[in-house]
Amino acid sequence: MWADEEERVRRGTWTSLAVAGALVLAGCGGDDEGTASGGGGGAAGDGGTTSIRVGAIPIVDVAPLYLGIEEGIFSDAGLEVEPFLAQGGAAIVPAVVNGEAQFGFSNITSLLQAEARGVPLTLVAPGPGATGDPAEDFAGVIVPADSPVQSAADLAGLRVAINSINNISETVVRESVRQAGGDPSGIEFVEIPFPDMVAAVSSGQVDAAFAVEPFATLGESQGLRVVSSPYTETDDDLSVAGYFTSDQYAAENPDVVEAFADAMVEAQQYAQDNPDAVREVLGTYTQIPAEVAQQLTLPTFQTELNRESIERLLELGEQDGIIEGEVDLEAIYAETD
C-alpha cells in the first residue's frame, strides 16, 4: 500500500484544516457506495451527457474543479460532474480503480509510486504548480523568528516536520537543501499533520516545518518566518499534482477522458485568470474563512503538465529511495494529454 495518506483533509475550524496538494495511495478498498451513471457513453460530441464522479480533497488546489462546475465548463463539454470529498487516497484511489469513481486528484510523486508498484492509473489533466517565485509560493519552510536558520542549507541536521514521510514533501525539501548547498542526509523528518505544524514549530517540538496554505500564512501571522520555498526551488514550473483515472476506464472511455481533460484545462485557465473567483469558491467546499482566503498565496493553476519537472521528481525520488521499482514515465500519461 502507499506509504501514508497524502495531503490531509481540512477539518473542524480553519486552524484544524488539513491543507495539502495531493493524495497518497493506500492499498485498501474505499467505502464510497454506488457508481457514476453513464460512465461509458454520452460524452461531448455525440449530444449526450455523461455523469462522472471525481474524487478530491477540500484544498485550494482543486478550486478549478469547482469553478468548472459553477461556470458551466463541464456541462458544455457534455459532462455532469459530481465531486466527492475524501480524506485522501484510502478512499479516492480505490474508488477510481474499482470503478466507483471515474477520476481523482493526486500529487505527482504518488502517481509515480503507483506506476512503480503496478497500480493501473493514468494522469489525464494538470493541477496546481509552483508559482516560480521563491519569495511567494503556496508552500514554504517555516521557522521561529529567532531561529538561526536563514536558508534551506541551514536545515541540515535539524528536525523538520512534513505531513507525509516518503512522498513529495520529503523530495522537495531535500532538493531545496541541496540547491542551497547543504546536505539533507542528516535531516530528521518528523511526520506531523499540517494543522499541527505551526504549534510544533512555535513550541520547539521541531526546528522547522514544510507548511502549505493556509498554514504558511497562519505561521507568518504568528511571527514565524518562511526561509525556503521547496516547490519552486525544486523546479520553478513544478507540476505538483494532477487528475487521474484508471487505465481500464481510459481504454474503455477515451471520449469521456478527452472531454474531461479538455474541460479541466479550460477550468484551470479560468482559475488562473480569475483569482478572486478562486478565493470566493473556496468557501463552498472548504472551511477556510473568507478573510483567510483573501490572504493566501495561490498556486499556479497549470494548463499543461511540465513533463521535465515530473521526470525530475522521478529522478529525485529514486535518488532518495522514495520511489522504488521500475517506472515507465510515458505509461502514466493519457494519450489525450
Length of the chain: 337
Residue 58 falls inside a structural domain: yes
Query: 227 and 270, same structural domain?
Result: no
The mean pLDDT value of the chain amounts to 86
Query: 269 and 219, same structural domain?
Result: no
- pLDDT, one tens digit per residue, over 280-297 is 999 999 888 899 899 999
CB 122 within 8 A of CB 246: yes
Q: How far apart (Å, rounded) are the C-alpha atoms in residues 29 and 93? A: 9
Query: 168 and 111, same structural domain?
Result: no
Query: 151 and 53, same structural domain?
Result: no
Query: 123 and 29, same structural domain?
Result: yes
Query: 246 and 156, same structural domain?
Result: no
Cell numbers standing for residue 125:
489533466
Cell numbers standing for residue 117:
508498484
User: pLDDT tens digits for the chain (337 residues)?
Assistant: 333 333 433 333 333 333 333 333 332 223 333 333 334 444 444 568 999 999 998 889 999 999 999 999 999 999 999 999 876 666 788 899 999 999 999 889 988 998 899 998 999 999 999 999 999 999 999 999 999 999 999 999 999 999 888 999 999 999 999 999 999 999 999 999 888 999 999 999 999 999 989 889 889 999 999 999 999 999 999 999 999 999 999 999 999 999 999 999 999 999 999 999 999 999 999 888 899 899 999 999 999 999 999 999 999 999 999 999 999 998 888 764 4
The whole domain housing 185 covers: 139-234
Cell numbers standing for residue 91:
478512499
Locus of grid cell 494519450: 335
Q: How far apart (Å, rounded) are the C-alpha atoms in residues 129 and 302? A: 6
Residue 5 falls inside a structural domain: no
Q: Which residues contact 322 (CB under 8 A, 6 or more apart)?
A: 109, 113, 166, 167, 170, 171, 316
Residue 8 falls inside a structural domain: no
Q: Report whether the peptide linkage leading into residue 214 is cis, meaning its omega lies within 30 degrees of zero.
A: yes
Query: 21 and 119, same structural domain?
Result: yes
Domain count, the chain: 2
Query: 229 and 253, same structural domain?
Result: no
Q: Which residues of 8-26 are buried (b: 16+ CB within 10 A; e: fewer)?
A: bbbeeebeebbbbbbbbbb
Task: Sheet with 225-228: list strands edge to edge.
Answer: 188-191, 159-162, 208-212, 139-143, 225-228
- pLDDT, one tens digit per residue, over 241-264 is 999 999 999 999 999 999 999 999
Residue 7 falls inside a structural domain: no
Query: 116 and 29, same structural domain?
Result: yes
Q: How does strand 159-162 pair with strand 188-191? A: parallel
CATH number of the domain to which 143 belongs: 3.40.190.10
Q: How far apart (Å, rounded) are the C-alpha atoms in residues 143 and 207? A: 6
Query: 116 and 260, same structural domain?
Result: yes
Residue 9 falls inside a structural domain: no
